[in-house]
Chain A
Amino acid sequence: MLITCPYCGPRDVIEFTYQGDGNRERPDPASQNFEAWNAYVYDRLNPAGDHNEIWQHSGGCRAHLRVVRNTLTHEISSVAFVRGDHGSSARHKAEDKA
Chain B
Amino acid sequence: MVERQSPLEPEFHVGSHGNFEHGVEILLTETKPGSIVQLAAWPGEEKKLIASIRSVTGLALPDGAGGGSSDGVKSVFGFAPGKFTVADEAEGLAASFAKAVTPSVGTVTDLSYGRTAIRIAGPKAEWVLAKFFAIDFALPAFPVGAGRSTAHHDVFAQIQRTGADQFDIYVFRSFARSFWKALCHASEEVGYEVQ
Contact = CB atoms under 8 A, between A and B. Distances in A.
Interface of A: 6-9, 11-12, 14-15, 59-63, 81, 83-84, 86-92
A60 B81 contact: no
A62 B156 CA distance: 11
Contacts of A62: 80, 149
Contacts of B151: 15, 59-60
B65 A91 contact: yes
A8 B149 contact: yes
Which one of A9, A62, A89 has the highest number of Cβ atoms from chain B below 10 Å of its Cβ?
Answer: A89
Contacts of A60: 80, 149-151
A59 B64 CA distance: 20
A12 B78 contact: no
B150 A7 contact: no
Nearest to A12: B134
A61 B79 CA distance: 6
Contacts, number: 63
Interface string B101-136: 000000000000000000000000000000000111
A61 B149 contact: yes
Interface string B51-93: 0000000000001111000000000001111110000000000
B134 A7 contact: no
B32 interface: no
Greatest chain B CB density within 10 A among A12, A59, A63 is at A59
Contacts of B78: 89
Interface in B2-57: 43-44, 46-47
Interface residues of B, number: 23
Contact of A59 (B43, B66, B79, B156): B156
B81 A86 contact: yes
Contacts of B80: 7, 60-63
Contacts of B154: 59
Contact of A83 (B43, B64, B79): B43
Contacts of B150: 8, 11, 15, 59-60
A81 B65 contact: no
A84 B64 contact: no
Contact of A86 (B63, B82, B134, B156): B82
A7 B66 contact: yes
Contacts of A86: 43, 46, 81-82
B148 interface: yes
A91 B148 contact: no
